[in-house]
Amino acid sequence: MTSNTPTMTAVAERTFPAAEVRRRLQEELEQAAQVSATLRPAWQPLLDSLQMVSALVALEDLFPFKLPPEKLVKKGGCASKDEGVEFIFERLQSLWNDHGKSKERS
C-alpha cells in the first residue's frame, strides 16, 4: 500500500517561517542598532538602509527565492529596531504569499 503523505519539504514550502524570520531579524537588527547607537549623529535614523540590507543575508536560507532588497528595505532607514523588524517582516510575508500564488498558477 502506497502512502500519499506530503513530505516535510512540501509542507515547509507552503508555510511562512514567521517565528524564525522574526527571531533572526530581531537578532540582526539589535546588533546593528547597538553599533549604530554609538556611531551615528542624533539626526540620522538608528538603522540605515545598508544595515537593513545586511540583515537580509541572515534570512536567505529560509526562502526558496531571491530576496529583493529594493522591495524589503525602507528607504532612508528606520528609527528603531522594532520599526525595522515590522517593516521587513510584513514585506517578506507578502513576497512569500505572492511566490506561492505564482507557483500555484504554473
pLDDT bucket at 40, cuts 50 / 70 / 90: confident
pLDDT bucket at 104, cuts 50 / 70 / 90: low
Backbone angles phi, psi at 67, to 5 degrees: -85, 115
Backbone angles phi, psi at 23, to 5 degrees: -60, -50
SS (H, E, C) 28-74: HHHHHHHHHHHHCCCCCCCECHHHHHHHHHHHHHHCCCCCCHHHHCC
SS3 98: helix
- For the chain, the average pLDDT equals 86
pLDDT digits (tens, 9 = 90+) for 69-101: 999 999 999 999 999 999 999 999 999 999 988
- Distance between CA atoms of 25 and 52, rounded to whole angstroms? 9
What pTM was estimated for this model as a whole?
0.81
